[in-house]
Amino acid sequence: MTQKNLQSKLLPAVTLSDADSALKIAEALLKGGLNVMEVTFRTEATAPAISAIVQEFPEMQIGAGTILSPDQLAVARDAGAQFGLSPGFSNPVTKKAKELDFPFIPGVMTPTDIETALNAGYKTLKLFPASDMGGINYINSLAGPYQHTGIRFLTMGGINETNLDSYLKHEMVISAGGSWLCPTDLIQQKKFDEITAVARKSVKLANNI
């Protein structure tokens, strides 16, 4: 589930305050070679921003992030998001995602989380916060008991250009993401050309791995 939504090795996580900035950011990421982005449900502008991007840039795949309640799933889907993500695992949220037939990536942190996700039928999982849990060493520890199950991780939390290669080289990692791909300070300063430059550099790094 949802691996088709993560054909890119990179997933920018973006928190938006208005729809106008959303379009500028989406355009900047596309110019930088990224056609997928996560828009987090942390502001009232999230749903309008997703709708605006979908209408203006249909080639951009939109993931609705920080989904914490079942109600947000319906809002995200109706806004045009193609998949959803959460920082943790919630039974009500994952059940609702299946009811809506909405591709979803639940968050996991511990072996218990992973086994709960597996039993619920999820194999593409967001490992968060990856670096705080031990980074690639932690993933190596998880590989023994879980790699044979077919689970794959979208790793987020503390990932950047300096450690990106260690994550993407691991067989259990399908993609890596975070706000480093679309820095908040550049968004606030409306430096969209610099966002394009960051995206382009990161895409080049990922493609060389």
Kindly list the catalytic residues: 38, 126
User: Which residues in 195-204 are b (16+ Cβ under 10 Å) and which e?
Assistant: bbebbbebbe
Can you read off the two tokens belonging to residue 107?
């968050």
**Integer Cα distance of 119 and 51 in angstroms:** 33
**Integer Cα distance of 106 and 100 in angstroms:** 15
Q: Say how far residue 171 (Cα) sits from the centre of its chain.
A: 18
Q: Confirm if 40 and 50 have CB atoms less than 8 A apart.
A: no
